[in-house]
Amino acid sequence: MAKLEVRNLTISFRTNNGAVRAVRDISFNLEEGETLAIAGESGSGKSVTTRAIMGILAGNAMVDAGEIIYDGKDLLKIPEEEFHTLRGHKLAMVFQDPLSALNPIMRIGKQLTEAMLLNNKERRRDGKERFNSLLAQLEKTMVADAEARGQGAQAREAIHAKTKQFDHFASVGLKMEYTYKEAMESIVECMDGMDEIDNAILTSKDKEVREICGRIRKSLKHIFDPYTFDENDPEIAKWHTALEGFQKNYTRRRESEMRALMADMTAKLGAMVNAQEPNFFCIGYLAASGKTPDPKKQSITELNQMARETLDREFMIDFLQDIAHALQYSSQQAAKSQQAAVDTLRSALKVYQQKPLNEGECKEALHKSAAAVEAAIDKLQLDKDNQAYVYRSGAQSYIDRYARSKTHNPKEEKRYAREQKKFEAQKAKGKNPPSVIPKNLIDADMAQHNLCEMTQSLLKHFEELIAASETKDFDVLAVEMVDYMKARAQDYAFKLTKGMARHRAIELMKEVGIPEPHKRFYQYPFEFSGGMRQRIVIAIALSANPDILICDEPTTALDVTIQAQILELINRLKKERRLSVIFITHDLGVVANMADRIAIMYAGKIVEYGTADDVFYDPRHPYTWALLSSMPDLETREKLEAIPGTPPDMILPPKGDAFAARNKYAMEIDFEEQPPMFHVSETHMAATWLLHPNAPKVNPPAIVVERIERMKKEQAEREAAEALQNAKKGAAEA
């Protein structure tokens, strides 16, 4: 299921000269863990699209039509207060100019931790809400399943007792885990402090050493937990005393004493950092049952095994079976409702396909079909069914738009005729009046087309769900359900402190490749180079572990070597964190080795869409050919071809193909009618009349053909080198 869906998005901007059509009826999906590159010239609508996703469009922007679906919500229809909980938390953005995204008078560390602390509050609130609602729905479904199997009130009481017990011991375990992680964070802070002391000793900064000793003493007070260290540990008491002495009076003459202390602390604290972590979910069950284990009497490995076996034997195996039955029942009920919804949607589609549309009949059909669709949603499905959740609001907006065209368009025609008449009269008098604002007409046919397309898409989606319901493994899904609830409960239980945030910020700075993060943490943006500032912006964007990262030309302001480093960094982070990335660029060469799919935009429309191999090795639109021709290539001395002409005026978009005036392959029909999206393959589409069966055969320019051959050869060489390297690695391991 797609992570993000953009459907029929149309955006314009109000100006004194009329409405600028910035984005015109575009659609695309973003899958989990993939990179979608959106490429095109300046003014093609790339950044407007991503700003609409982030909810940061300019004040004069008008969303004329379309939907942006994320997590079962249309982002274009939710209030700003709700959007605020998503922006930065679930959706993050890296801007072209890092200075515009950073506060010049705030230290970098503060900017990183501020984002973490704010988003932690939202994550905790969201985690609590999701855990409670899912557990309540699970209990409700378990009861319904038990009643369907002929079990009575006794079963209802037993189910309630089980879900309550699960909630209780999960809560107990999370509290234990939270105090343990607080202690572990303090231990890591001590380790970080010792690294800082080592650097300070090497640079002969005695005052800094004394300050860091004070910080370590403060952190040492919080390292105690039943599963870390005992408060009465005499060795740790000695550390306190020694650090107090160094805090008051450290000089270079005491370096050997300091290094001896650091060696002792590093050995003991490092062993704890690398030790196995207790399984608090299982241990929480023992504690909630009055069987709190003593970690001093057995190893963590033995404790985890004993706790897991006890939990499985006394509770979890039976509970997982109950969940599996509930999931199966919920899936079967949803499949029945989906079949009923398919029949209702087919009837509604017949109404939507009438010409002209009858508004009353459409609203009645929508009321019935939307009710059937909402009843068909499987409430225990972890991934929200985006299409089903937004069907009512999306279809209603298209019906309203169609109805509004009946009153709006005649008024707009009269307004234009009236102003045009005044304009001609002024011109006849020899004056030079301002030009008339063009007509802003609502395309009723497009609204009806989108309504039918949305309904057909949902029909197909439900048919696929019905077919897939027979192959589900409910035992596996039950385990996934428990894991999901544990994760949401952890989100709620984990409260980020300032000390934890500082440690995480430093780790994040290391992750994005910033040297000396302990020192850089206290610096201002002006003390960083352009590449380092962009790394900081990426770190801030990643600080809340977002689902989707939008990169708006993040390398444009950087030199070539730094560009390569930033691209490599984004690609690595995407793989490590399973991020979904939207990458905006005007240079196809930038995304050649990192994009999974590419959308080529021109004049507010997607003109070609496919996998990276489709677009680079089999381009079909003349505009894509032009972009490839103008792409710099250091391997050859061939002259780059500039794209002739300029983009069209989007206040008055061309009637046909917007690229026709700049396209030497344009035919007469290109100036008269917009081309539809022709399917080259299942993954590849292009909007050009050259793909029509009756069109003359036109081959790409020679420069593009040569480039494609060269890119294929380079790709084959890279793959051969990787295969050889993997073979050598495998032989060495064997």
Q: Which band of pLDDT confidence, cut at 50, 70 and 90, is reported for residue 353?
A: very high
Is residue 649 in a domain? yes
State what percent of residues in the chain have pLDDT above 90: 42
Task: Name which of 127, 92, 130 is nearest 112 in CA terms.
Answer: 92
Q: Which residue has the higher pLDDT, 360 or 499?
A: 360
- Could you say which DSSP state residue 24 is in? E
For residue range 680-708, list pLDDT tens digits in order. 999 999 999 999 999 999 988 888 888 88
Q: Which residue has the higher pLDDT, 100 or 227?
A: 227
- Over residues 345-351, mean pLDDT: 94
- Over residues 113-120, mean pLDDT: 85
Is residue 702 in a domain? yes
**E strand segments, 60-106:** 61-70, 73-74, 91-94
> pLDDT value at position 46?
92
Bridge-partner residues for 549, per DSSP? 92, 581
Is residue 503 in a domain? no
Q: What angle do CA 236, 207, 509 make, to 5 degrees?
A: 75
Can you spell out the DSSP letters for 614-679? HHHHS--SHHHHHHHHTS--TT--PPPPPPPS-PPPTTS--SS-TTGGG-TT--GGGGTS----EE
Q: Which residue has the higher pLDDT, 637 or 679?
A: 679
Q: Is the pLDDT of residue 658 over 70?
A: yes
Q: What residues contact 219, with CB distance under 8 A and at least 6 apart?
A: 186, 187, 189, 190, 193, 499
> pLDDT value at position 293?
84
Question: Does one domain contain both 703 and 604?
Answer: yes
Q: Which band of pLDDT confidence, cut at 50, 70 and 90, is reported for residue 503?
A: confident
> pLDDT value at position 125?
84
Bridge-partner residues for 93, per DSSP? 550
Residue where a domain stops, chosen among 552, 572, 595: 595
- Over residues 323-339, mean pLDDT: 93
For residue range 269-300, list pLDDT tens digits in order. 999 989 999 999 999 999 998 888 888 888 89
Give the span between the Cα atoms of 328 and 317, in whole angstroms: 17
Q: Which band of pLDDT confidence, cut at 50, 70 and 90, is reported for residue 314?
A: very high
For residue range 404-438, list pLDDT tens digits in order. 888 888 888 888 888 888 888 888 888 888 777 77
H/E element, 290? none
> pLDDT value at position 151?
77
Question: Does one domain contain both 586 and 678?
Answer: no
Is residue 626 in a domain? yes
Question: Does one domain contain both 572 and 656?
Answer: no
Question: Does one domain contain both 544 and 650?
Answer: no
Q: Which band of pLDDT confidence, cut at 50, 70 and 90, is reported for residue 636?
A: low
Give how far the C-alpha of residue 430 lies from the chain's centroid of Cα atoms, to the nearest Å. Answer: 58
Question: Does one domain contain both 606 and 706?
Answer: yes
Is residue 552 in a domain? yes
- Could you say which DSSP state residue 733 is in? H
Question: Does one domain contain both 632 and 589?
Answer: no
> pLDDT value at position 633?
67
Neighbours of 260 (CB within 10 A): 11
Q: Which residue has the higher pLDDT, 50 or 632?
A: 50
Can you spell out the DSSP letters for 666-711? --GGGGTS----EESSSS-EE--GGGSTTSPP-PPPHHHHHHHHHH
For residue range 261-276, list pLDDT tens digits in order. 999 999 999 999 899 9
> pLDDT value at position 710?
85
User: What dihedral angle (degrees, nearest 10) is formed by the CA atoms of 295, 300, 302, 304?
Assistant: 100
The count of domains in the chain is: 2
Question: Does one domain contain both 707 and 622?
Answer: yes
Mean predicted lDDT score pLDDT of the chain = 88
Is residue 517 in a domain? no
Is residue 33 in a domain? yes
> pLDDT value at position 634?
59
Question: Does one domain contain both 570 and 654?
Answer: no
Phi first, then psi, for residue 70 (nearest 5°) are -140, 130
Question: Does one domain contain both 606 and 676?
Answer: yes
Question: Does one domain contain both 619 and 591?
Answer: no
Q: Is the pLDDT of residue 245 over 70?
A: yes
Type of residue at 590? V
Within 13 A of 464's CA, how many CA atoms are on the CB side?
9
Residue where a domain stops, chosen among 595, 614, 639: 595
Question: Does one domain contain both 668 and 603?
Answer: yes
Phi first, then psi, for residue 280 (nearest 5°) are -75, -20
CATH number at residue 671: 3.40.50.300
Q: Is the pLDDT of residue 553 over 80?
A: yes
Neighbours of 498 (CB within 10 A): 10
With beta carbons less than 8 A apart as the criterion, state whether 657 and 24 touch: no
Give the span between the Cα atoms of 8 and 446, in whole angstroms: 9
Sort strands 678-679 and 18-30 into parallel, antiparallel or unpaired.
unpaired
Is residue 468 in a domain? no
Task: Name which of 450, 484, 386 is nearest 2 in CA terms.
Answer: 386
Question: Does one domain contain both 649 and 588?
Answer: no
Task: Name which of 378, 344, 345 is nearest 469 in CA terms.
Answer: 378
Q: What residues contact 480, with CB distance under 8 A and at least 6 apart?
A: 382
- Look up the domain containing 19 and give its range: 4-105+524-595
Which tokens is 455 given? 């309904």
SS3 610: strand
